[in-house]
Every structure is written in structure tokens, then in C-alpha cells.
Homo-oligomer: A and B are copies of this chain.
Amino acid sequence: MNMKNKEVKIFLAGKFTSTHQPLKVINPYDQTVVASTFLASESELEAAINAAQAVQEELKQLPAYDRYDILMYISDQIQRQHEMFSHTLMLESGKPIKYAQAEIDRSIQTFRVAAEESRRHPREYLSLDWTPAGHKKEGLVRYFPVGLVAGISPFNFPLNLAVHKIAPAIAAGCPIILKPSSKTPLSTLALAEIIAQTNLPPGVVSVLPMDRKTGNKLVTDPRFAMLSFTGSPEVGWKMKAEAGKKKVVLELGGNAGVIIAETADVDVAVVKCAGAAFAYSGQVCIHAQRLFVHQSIFDEFSKHFVKLTNKLRSGDPAHADTDISSMIDEDNAIRVENWVNEAIHGGAEVLAGGSREGSFYPPTVLTRTHNEMKVCSREIFGPVVTLEPYAEFDEAIAFINNTRFGLQAGVFTNKADEINQAFNRIQTGGVIINDVPTFRVDHMPYGGIKDSGFGREGLKYAIHDMLEPRILVKDF
């Protein structure tokens, strides 16, 4: 990546450009300036929209073999620059390097699956002669790109969540203007350099950091046919109301729960839950926030879990063995501190934890919490987890469901009837057996119900959402 003098230009319709609004990207761990880049103003956004509309028809005409080659090229190039990407991502986000590397792996896979799915757009071939009205007629359904897509991605997976908008857009044949988080635009701009090397017509992809006001045009401008947003519930649902005639997909957050039933393998569950609770300081949409453990194994689980929590290594995200580092900024760390204090004052007991230091918040385990506490009912987006016992499986499901959110849930059990109950009754977009709610592979349908989202990502599903059907009725 071109970080000469640490100035990184933004990507406007095939060109790298600077603007009048500089944007400093700060390393959350040591507060140094990682690089300087730019915010796009309305005029750059307007240029990007115009360029996107100008190439829309050309993009639609691109044969499948070209789309495939372009997406595979991008995947291969990220692979070749794996170290640069993971390092950049670590610096801009403060994400420990081992997690940063895993995110790069996922982006490689995301583009690869997009390549494969770009040759497998949905298509239907229907008999229509179910009544005499359809005599000797049949139907073909092709799916056409909906048009210009607006993508908005958050800081917590700076590259892969942007990729989950860019890759399906290319695969679907839709131009896209992506607004990365202003805190973490660098890895996505590095991706833009690869995109610029491909045969994609300039204008198909723009990566433009923007302030919120400018960015709001992505929501309201009728030239966008679709808005794909990943971020907070409050912002997301407001966008849906303002989006006019466009399609909207919202990938929001939650306060995911886990059930550890009596037949669970406790050793496995402890390790997986610790990862799900504290990886990247819990700044993950499907972070495990609420653990419900069967009373017969509660003490055992609790003891091991606290022990493991206390062993987590905190420090510089650049170190290979760092488990937890600073949060994205001090405001967020303070917010977490306040919520934990509220819980403590309300009667919660701290099984593990410590005190905030600047933007670092230590991994924290609470028990004796109740649902009115913010640490339970809201999305904490921090390294805090609650640990509570349950008696009956029904009760555990009720605990999991007692929230306005519904993204994913984990259930550790070896009982077939409990698995069935979990699948039938847990109100989330995903139920993960013998693993944590944080589980996601990039081709699976992923998304929330209730307040946690609207629509699904995962390549096939995201591509499908960027297409609209047209039926041809013909004689046969």
C-alpha cells in the first residue's frame, strides 16, 4: 500500500484523490497517527455517483468470466499482500494481530466465494401451464442488478465488513460507493489499490470516507437503488425510514447469549466462550455477552472461565500473543466502565475484571445480574460478559429470548431434544450448536431478526439482494 509520508488518497471512481478535508487515522493503542487520508465532500460523492451511473450499463454487460477473473484476482492479491493488510488493519483498529490476520483470511475467502457465486446468479425456468390460461407458455426468470449500491461499514471489522458489500456488488454487477468507518479506512483503501488494477470500469467501486452529514446522502439520495448498512441498531433503523424507495439491508448488533447445558463439554465451552467474550475487546456484533450455565455445572464452568479470563494477555496488538488490547477509543471504554458500575451498584458481583486504563478495559465477568441492567439488555460492545445459572432448558431459552435483539445464539449440548428446542424456539437469525454465537463463515446466511437487522449477508444472499427478477413469458 502506498503510504508515502503516510498520506493515503481516497478512491473516487478509479482514481486516487485528495480533498480539502484531511482525516487523521489514529492507532487506538498508542495514539500515534497511522496515516493521514481524506474525507470526501458532497462534490466528490456527486462525482462518484455520476461515474457509477455512467458505467452501470457497461458493468451489466460484463460476461461472467470477466467478473469471475476480477474477483479471483482481488482475492489472490490480498493473499500476496497478507502481511501488509493485517498490519494496516491492526494499526488502524487496535485489533490484536492474530485476529487481524484471521480477518484478512476471511476477506480472501469472501472474494473467492463471490467469484464462484458470480457465475451462479439465481435463475428460474418455470412451467406456466398449470391452468388453461398458461397453455403452451413457459417462464424464464433472470435476475438483473438493481443499480447503484450504497455501502456503509463499521470500524470493528474494517476490511471484511466492507468486503461483504464490495464483493457481492461486483459479483451482482452493481456499482457501489462504500463509506468505511472514518476511524479505520486504511485497509479498505489498500483494497482499492488492488481493485484499481483490475479491468473493472472506473466508477464501479468508490471508497469514500465521509462525515455523517455527507454520508447521509447514501441513505436519502434516490439514485442509490439499495443501501447496505452494518452498524448500530439506532442508526440503522432510522436509515430505513429515510431510505425512500430503495432496498435496505441492515446488519446491526445484539447482546448474544450462550447456553451451556449439562451435557456440554465444559473444557471446550470455556475456551470458546472466552474467545467469544473478549476477542477484540468484545467489539464484535456477535460478541458473547450473556452466558447461561446449567446449575449442575455452574461452579465448575465459572471457575475455569474466570481462570482463563485472568490469563488473557493484554498489551500491544502488534504482538503475536496479545489477546486483548485497547478499545477503539476512550469514550467507548468509559461507556463500558459506566455500565459495569451500574451493574455493580445494582447488585452484580464481579468474578473477574479490573479498572479501566485510558481506552483499555480489562476482560470482565459479572454474575448476579438482571435484565434491567444495561450490561444485560443493551449491546455492550466491550469485553464484558455475564454468567448466570439456569435450572431448566426452557428457562435458558427464555433468558436468551428476553431481549429486543436476535442476531445469533450459542448452545453447548449433546441432547438432540435440546437442539431441536433451540432451533424451534430461539429467536435469532442463527443458533450455533456446540459453539459460540460469534461463529460465522462467510458463505453462510448471516443476519439478525427483531432489532438486530433486516435481511441477510453471506455471499449468495447478499448477491441475491442486489438483484431483481424479471420474468420472460414465452411460447414453447
A335: Cβ under 8 A from any B Cβ: no
Q: Inside 8 A of A315's CB, which chain B residues have their CB?
A: none
Residues in B with CB closer than 8 Å to A109 are 130-131
How many angstroms between the C-alpha atoms of A65 and B137 in the bound complex? 12
Q: Is there contact, CB below 8 Å, between A434 and B241?
A: no
Measured between beta carbons, the chain B residues less than 8 angstroms from A439 are 133, 137, 473
B105 touches A441 (CB 8 A): no
Q: Considering only CB atoms, which chain B residue lies closest to A124 in the complex?
A: B125
The answer to the question of A308 belonging to the interface, with a C-beta cut-off of 8 Å to chain B, is no
Q: How far is the CA of A414 from the CA of B476 in the complex (A)?
A: 12
Name A470's contact: one of B237, B430, B474 (CB within 8 Å): B430
Q: Which residues in window 242-264 of A have CB below 8 A to B?
A: 244-245, 247
Contact A444 B139 (CB under 8 A): yes
Nearest to A422 among chain B residues (CB) is: B472
Interface-facing stretch out of A23-31, A289-297, A449-457: A449-457
Contact of A419 with B468 in the complex, beta carbons under 8 Å:
no
Q: Check B140–A140 contact: CB distance below 8 A.
A: yes
Interface segment out of the listed A115-123, A269-277, A380-388: A115-123
Q: Once the chains bind, are A132 and B65 in contact (CB under 8 Å)? A: yes
Determine if B129 and A123 form an interchain contact, defined as CB atoms under 8 angstroms apart: no
In the complex, how many angstroms separate the beta carbon of A77 from the nearest chain B beta carbon?
A: 15
Q: Is A306 an interface residue, CB under 8 A from the partner?
A: no
Given contacts A139-B444, A454-B245, contact A435 B473 (CB under 8 A): yes
Can you pick out 28 interface pairs between chain A and chain B where the beta carbons lie within 8 Å of each other?
A63-B129, A63-B136, A65-B130, A65-B134, A65-B135, A120-B127, A121-B127, A123-B125, A123-B126, A125-B141, A131-B441, A133-B441, A140-B423, A141-B445, A240-B245, A245-B451, A414-B415, A414-B417, A416-B474, A419-B474, A420-B476, A423-B472, A429-B471, A431-B471, A434-B474, A445-B471, A446-B471, A449-B468
